[in-house]
Amino acid sequence: MKKVITYGTFDLIHHGHINILKRAKEFGDYLIVGLSSDEFNDIKGKAAYHSYEERKLILESIKYVDEVIPETNWGQKVDDIRNNDVQIFVMGSDWEGKFDELKEHCEVRYLPRTEGISTSKIKMDLLKKQ
């Protein structure tokens, strides 16, 4: 079985998230999502609308996702790859080059983001409507 892993906050799920999850799943048989914990989001300076448990529930209901694990720090990726026997690591192209050190552990792929949509854009658009 070929396993794929990706990471993110996955807050305010939109079609861009679905696109990247679908494309990631196409690389293998089993997709693991490392979901940023609320505490890790605090460290990153990110504020999610939904709690970790709510975001996890939403991700688990998406047909492309086979497993959701907590992402609690930047350095856990190598352990996650080893412990889960992952062959392919996938991230959005805005992270291009930032995870190349993982190439010694698995294949690394950067996928283009869906144009015109992001959680940040949704939040900004909602603020404009107020």
Is residue 10 within 8 Å of residue 33, measured between CB atoms?
A: yes
Question: Which residues are known to be catalytic?
Answer: 44, 46
Is residue 62 within 8 Å of residue 21, measured between CB atoms?
A: yes
For the beta carbon of residue 65, count every other beta carbon within 10 angstroms.
21
Q: How far is CA 125 from the centre of its chain?
A: 23
